[in-house]
Structure formats: structure tokens, C-alpha cells
Amino acid sequence: MSVLDVTKTEKIATRQAFGDEVVELGRENKDILVVDVDIGSSCKTTQFMNEFPKQHVNVGIAEQNAAGLAAGLATTGKIPFVSTYAVFGSLRMAEQIRQEVCYPNLNVKIACSHGGLTPANDGGSHQAIEDMGVLRTFPNMKVIMGADYHSTRKLIRQAAETYGPVYLRFTRDPVPVIYDENEEFEIGKAKQLKEGNEVALIANGDTVHLAIKASEILEEKGISVKLLDMHTIKPIDKEAVLECIDIGNIVTVEDHNIINGLGSAVSEIVAEEGKGKIRRIGVQDQFGESAPYETLLEINGISVENIVRTAEELL
């Protein structure tokens, strides 16, 4: 799919953005490699494999081996993207990422589909609710989740051009297209979508479109809303969070365990400043189940209605 085929009226999974952007990167730079674990069709790397067989390696169902191989390739000047599911990329590969990628600070990108609750009907075993939290604790690691197709493509390109370990998280299910294709993004710099002075909404990934809808409802009620897309939770945009603390009321929204994800990262800054109130909306420290994606979000209070209610309660 070409970027020109995507409009704001569509929904598209951000894993497709990875599949499209990594092909463009491969055409431009022969040092870009993809290391697959036998799920290329699901992770959208089949086109890359077909177009660049010499830049593609399939290690089979062996995620730890994939991480070690990628580390070795990085020492030769290559830029490997390890492509797998988020539960495997963050948990099964955790030791290898820590010891072989982050400790020597190698130029490896961990590109993972099926983040958060988006695997939905695949059940709790495939829903990565702790992945960003696990990997943000590793020194040298950057942790990123784009909100839509266009932002994800731009952030993938930035990751390829930025030296060091990066974790990129994508959705399995389609999410609304929010941004125009010419919008620019910077790793570690939040995207401000609205300016306000009564309550701040900070969201990332597939929850940004929910926060946008909630902000519109709050504004209809006469409440001034500041809205941030915090696509990078490490390094988090501390300056942007401090501006939200000055407002005094913050609601974070994420498709991740409220422990050690976006909400925790923002809360750490709030606590260190010693002022401001914060409420975290996200997965309520519980495993998912096999159910439609929207149902799982609702079970955990990740909804427009709950964002609005939580913001009003803070005020």
C-alpha cells in the first residue's frame, strides 16, 4: 500500500505502516535488514522478503536467536529490524535484548506487531500489556508507539536514522488515520494536538483517537483541554509533561498496563515535581481475554466516556 492511498477517512493497522516503511528504507539503504521469526505475513514483512532476499533472514520460531543474530549484524554496521509479536519481542527476548543489544548499545530495532489489547480474539497470551514497561527499564533503549499509519511511518524512519536500540510497537487491529502524510515527528518530542489550560490529556498509540474525541466532548462542555500524543515514552518529553503539570490536572490514556507504562512515566515526573493531580486510564493490571478489541477496551475503562468522566472528576 502506498502512503498516498491512505486518508483520514480510513482505518489501518500500524503494522502495515511498518511493512510499507521498511520496504522504502530497504530500497534506500542496503544496510537495512529484517530478521523474521516465521510470522512475516502477520508482521507485514513479506514484501521486504520478496524484494530484498539478501537483506532478509528468517530464523524460524526462535526469538532469542533473532535478537542475538541482530546484535551480531549490528556490529558489522548493519541496521537490523527484528520483527515479531510484542509479547515475544519484549518477554521471550528480554534477556538477549538486555545483555546483547542494550548493554553494548548496539544499533538494533525491535519492531513488534500485536501491541496491547489489539490481538483481541487471540486472547490474553498474545496481548502484550507489559511490553513497553519492561523495555523502558533497559538503559539505552528508546520506546515508541505511533498513533496512526502516517505517524508510525515517520517514527520508523527516525528510528532507522537514530543510532541505538529502539522498541517500536504496532497494532494488529486497524486504527483511525489521524495525521496528514506530511506531518513531522521527532523521537522524544510529544505532538501537541490541542492547547488548553484546565485539563491535560496525554495519550499514545491506539488511544490517541479516543482522547481526541473525549477532548471534543469536554470542549463542548466548556472545559479547556490540552491534548498530547506522547508517542515516545522513553525518552519522554519532560518539558511537555511539565507544561501539563502547570495546568494541574492530567489524565493519561494508554493500551498498556497502567503499571510501568505511559501513566507511570508521567506520574514519575509529577511526583518529582511535587504538584499536580494525575489519573491513569489503561489496562487495569489484569490479563486480557478472548473478546472483540472494543470490548476489551471497555472492560478496562479505555473509552471516550471514561476519559471525559475522569477529567470532569479531576476538575
Report the number of secondary-structure helices (H) and strands (E) in the chain: 13, 14
Query: Residue 208 and residue 147: Cα distance in Å, rounded?
Result: 6
Partners of residue 281 on adjacent β-strands: 253
Q: In this structure, are residues 311 and 223 in contact, taking their beta carbons and an 8 Å threshold?
A: yes
Angle at 171 between CA 30 and CA 111, to 5 degrees: 30
Query: Residue 200 and residue 243: Cα distance in Å, rounded?
Result: 9
Query: Residue 216 and residue 213: Cα distance in Å, rounded?
Result: 5
Does the active-site annotation cover 63? yes
Question: Which of the 8 DSSP states describes residue 251?
Answer: E
Looking at 63, 100, 130, 254, which residue is catalytic? 63
Residues recorded for the chain: 315
Query: Residue 208 and residue 230: Cα distance in Å, rounded?
Result: 9
**Exposed, middle or buried by CB within 10 Å (0-12, 13-18, 19+), for 49?**
middle
Catalytic site positions: 63
